[in-house]
Amino acid sequence: MDNLILIIQQIFTFNTIILLLLGSIIGLIFGSLPGLTATMGVAVLLPITFSLDAIEGIVLLIGVYVGGISGGLVAATLLGIPGTPSSIATTFDAYPMSKNGEPVRALGIGIVGSFVGGILSFIILIAIAPIIASLAVKLSQFDYAALIFFALALISVLSRGNIIKGITSGFIGLSIALIGFAPIDRSQRFTFGNINLGSGIELLPLMLGLFAIAIILISVQEKEENKEINFKVKGLGISLKEFFENTWNMIRSSIIGIGFGILPGMGSGISNIISYAQAKQSSKKPEDFGKGSPEGIYATETANNASIGGALVPLLALGIPGDTVTAILLGGFVIQGIQPGPLLMEQNPGVVQAVYIAFLLSIIVVFFIQLFGMRLFPLILKIPKNYLFGILVVLSAVGAFSNSNNTFDIWVMLVFGVIGYVLMRNNYPIAPLILGYILGPLFETYLRRALMNSPNGMLGFLTHPIAAILVIITFIVIIRTFYKEIKEYRQVA
């Protein structure tokens, strides 16, 4: 307790609070601008921490992390462009709601979901971090492969209403993921002798192409202007009834966010889409998804912020980064002479307590900054389209180039902009494509590792209890989804 009081005294100083505010604001800016991400924000500010003490450095970086993930909501809602990969699924309902004249309400829903997800993940982080982390590392390769197989099966859920086109979109995503060096044996696939394709198609230029460029191309052809913006929204734009109706939705999405955040290599980008699929599957009005459903926004924004606490669990307890941002945080800790891992909580509990407090304060600070700005952000929609789209194209090009300082990524962005335009014009959903692209390489990696170490081949899925349960649940989800699709088709026919 004496150590905790000392840490609180160190954090609640003028300099540290200013650094927390600065980090949160910079994180929000990086998350809000298309092409910039929370990872970039943390990486840019990392050198600044060299001149700070350990507590100040931790507070600054955690503030950027939380602000960056939360900031993706703004661009996703107002422009239909995910500010970060963790907000991809947020665009599916927040942008349609914004186009319907309710951007303030869409932002309010997202802000509430972000806050709830952050608080729930904070509780999990301080309560059972070491236990969960130790269980996560005991999972076998078959367990990981089965979990990702289950996530891939949700393509069928995301495709409800047009399952053939949805599955086709998913296979396109899987095909894109095959480009480059294969995992494990590093053999080249579909590079066509182009050295730039050796590392595959990067997520950032692909995301900017499918969302930013494609949406700009579609919007340019639209003759109708967006509906008049409703700024007369009381409070956060939601009622207590709506909040409580979505309580289980947010709890479930938080569990998904925390779970995928804990698993190394996954994180907020995947949990964002998985939670959306689960919300759609469990909804009484799945037909409203993609048209401005509040349930979809609650689910996605709760999950991506909950994944922050989840990703911090293996970082602190095991010294294993849960995602790319925590990988940079790990470097920042090491630079300060802090070595995350099993002995950290015993040898340096003050650092752990500082992370907990910085995380909680960042959640609260970001919430109030977004609350203040939720009526100011939509003013961007009043900018004439010809100016706005020009700015977005430039920002997207800069973001694609800064990803690896390679002009090839700009061409990738433009190519996928055309592909996204063609898919959207022909009513092919983008969500299955993204899910297939992200999960395809992970599934291949874990599956090949599992088969390399198993004398029983594919039967290993049945000899590992967790993997067997996940495979059974996966087939139940697929069969149930197809059954509902066929039933609805017969009713219409």
Mean pLDDT, range 372-380, rounded to an integer: 78
Residue 350 has pLDDT above 70, yes or no: yes
With beta carbons less than 8 A apart as the criterion, state whether 330 and 319 touch: yes
Residue 262 and residue 311 in contact, taking contact as beta carbons nearer than 8 Å: yes
**β-bridge partners, 189:** 180
Q: How far apart are CA 115 and CA 340, in angstroms?
A: 26
pLDDT at 227 over 60: no
| Tokens linked to 267 | 């994180």
The separation between the first and the last C-alpha atoms of the chain, rounded to the nearest angstrom, is 68
Owner of token pair 């044996």:
185
Q: According to the model, what pLDDT value does residue 104 have?
A: 86
- Please state which of the ranges 50-64, 220-234, 242-256, 345-359 shows the lowest mean pLDDT: 220-234
Let me know how long the chain is: 493
Q: Check whether 130 has a pLDDT greater than 70.
A: no
C-beta neighbour count of 370 within 10 angstroms: 26
**Nearest alpha carbon to residue 126 among 342, 357, 328, 330:** 357
Which amino acid, one-letter code, is at 248? Answer: W
User: For strand 180-181 and strand 188-189, is the pairing parallel, antiparallel, or unpaired?
Assistant: antiparallel
Determine the number of helices (DSSP H) and then strands (DSSP E) in the chain.
Answer: 23, 2
Q: Please, which pLDDT band fits residue 419 given cuts at 50, 70 and 90?
A: very high
State residue 310's pLDDT score.
79
Reading the block at residue 7, the tokens are: 């840490």
pLDDT digits (tens, 9 = 90+) for 162-203: 778 888 888 888 889 888 888 777 788 888 878 888 878 887
User: Which pLDDT value is given to residue 232?
Assistant: 67
Average pLDDT of 406-428? 89
Q: What is the pLDDT of residue 268?
A: 65
pLDDT at 323 over 80: no
- pLDDT single digits (tens) 19-61: 889 989 988 888 887 767 777 788 778 878 777 888 888 888 8
Residue with tokens 């939360």: 70
pLDDT at 341: 67
Whole-model pTM? Answer: 0.77
Judged against a pLDDT cut of 80, whether residue 7 lies above it is answered with no
pLDDT for the residue 415: 92
Q: Which amino acid is at 92?
A: F
Of the two residues 384 and 299, the one the predictor is more confident about is 299
- C-alpha 34: how far from its chain's center? 14
> pLDDT averaged over the chain?
80
DSSP bridge pairs for 188: 181
DSSP bridge partners of 180: 189
Whole-number pLDDT of residue 115: 92
pLDDT of the residue at 4: 64
Q: Give the residues across from 181 on adjacent strands.
A: 188
Domains of the chain, residue spans: 2-492
pLDDT at 345 over 70: no
**Non-local CB neighbours of 423 within 8 Å, separated by 6+ positions:** 169, 172, 214, 430, 433
- Separation between Cα atoms, residue 28 and residue 22, nearest integer Å: 10
d(CA 85, CA 83): 7
pLDDT of residue 426: 87
Provide the H-helix boundaries in 102-233.
Answer: 103-136, 141-153, 155-158, 163-177, 203-207, 214-221
Long-range contacts of 468-473 (CB under 8 A, 24+ apart): 468/146, 470/143, 470/146, 470/147, 470/149, 470/150, 471/146, 471/149, 471/150, 473/150
Percent of the residues in the chain that have a pLDDT greater than 90, as a whole number:
5
Say if residue 399's pLDDT is above 80. Answer: no
Query: Angle at Cα 323 formed by Cα 274 and Cα 12, nearest 5°?
Result: 110
Structure tokens belonging to residue 246: 């979505």
In the block, which residue shows the tokens 């955040």?
A: 261
393 close to 387: Cβ distance less than 8 angstroms? no
Confidence label for 226 from pLDDT (cuts 50, 70 and 90):
low
Q: What does the angle CA 126 – CA 128 – CA 129 come to, to the nearest 5 degrees?
A: 70
Q: Output the pLDDT for position 21.
A: 92
Lowest mean pLDDT among 11-15, 118-122, 184-188, 413-417: 184-188
What's the whole-number mean pLDDT along residues 315-328? Answer: 71
pLDDT > 80? residue 95: yes
416 against 375, higher pLDDT:
416
Contacts 24+ apart (CB under 8 A), 286-290: 286/160, 286/161, 287/161, 289/92, 289/93, 290/92, 290/93, 290/96, 290/429
- Predicted local confidence at residue 364, as pLDDT: 92
The residue type found at 372 is F
Q: Are 61 and 42 in contact (CB under 8 A)?
A: yes
